[in-house]
Amino acid sequence: MGVPLEQWIETINAHPAKYLFQGLRGEGDHRARGFFTDVREAAVYDERYMDAYMDCVRKGMREELDAALSSPSDGEFAPPGEDDLHVESYAEFLRNRFWHKWDESENINRAPARKVIALLDPDHSNDLRWEWAYEAVDPQYEWEWIREHEDAEALMREHPPVEMWSHAFEEGVPLDDVWFICPGCGREPIREDGNECGYCCGLCGASSNAPTMEAFFRALEVKEWPFRERDGEGKHAGEEESHG
């Protein structure tokens, strides 16, 4: 190894494998713009994705509120804080918005949620309920939820990787051009062009001394074409035979 081990480890840790995911082009790093190690991270940095996601969350909350309010209340109002979560939240929204319209002798903060809603939103205002849903959704909570709980595999089926970031050349490499990923660092995409008889990783310095790349692949069990397979005749899947 041409550099001290500590320096090599520091370099590798500072340069994780990053991908550009189809349809997700958030800001990210100023150089590797839109490239991320995790599709979930790419999603939360993509404004269009998050706008659609938040709209879906708000729509779901609004539908749950409507369903809860349309259900029977068993004849008696539940004590404050003991009704459906969305019903309680909407009542608190109305208390804060229309406290000056409360004409009851009962303290507005001690009144049951459904009573507050019945008196302050007698017309079942669609606009008010959408305003509540908009304010009730916490973007930070949704970002963390996606990062920690979203199904990454399902998300990647919708937004597959299309490019891999080359730290050595500071550019994206289309996955169809990736021959293999350097086995030395697991970070750098290696292209086929110019590497038929060997390679040297521009990131970690790993190289092959095998007489041919086929021997190198067999010796280290490196997987060729990690993103596209060859057929039985040695051609890439989907590649048409040349008639030149």
pLDDT tens digits, residue range 32-81?
Answer: 688 999 999 999 999 999 999 999 999 999 999 999 998 866 556 777 77
Write out 4-26 in H/E/C secondary structure.
Answer: CHHHHHHHHHCCCCCEEECCECC
Render 100-125 in DSSP notation, one character per residue: GG---SS-TTTS-HHHHHHHH-TT--
Q: What pLDDT, on the 0 to 100 scale, is given for residue 25?
A: 81
3 and 65 share one domain: no
Q: What pLDDT, on the 0 to 100 scale, is given for residue 71?
A: 82
Cα angle, residue 132 at apex, residues 131 and 136 outer, rounded to 5°: 120
| Mean pLDDT on 132-140 | 93
Residue 80: exposed, middle, or buried by beta-carbon count in 10 A (0-12, 13-18, 19+)? middle
- Supply the range of the domain harboring residue 99: 23-159
Beta bridge partners of 174: 163
Q: Is residue 33 part of a domain?
A: yes
Q: What is the pLDDT of residues 101-123, one digit of tens each?
A: 999 999 999 999 999 999 999 99
131 and 41 share one domain: yes
pTM, to two decimals: 0.73
Q: How many helices (H) and strands (E) does the chain have?
A: 9, 5
Closest to 54 (Cα-Cα) out of 132, 151, 137: 137
120 and 155 share one domain: yes
Q: What is the pLDDT of residues 171-229, one digit of tens each?
A: 999 988 888 888 888 889 988 776 666 778 888 888 877 666 667 666 666 666 666 55
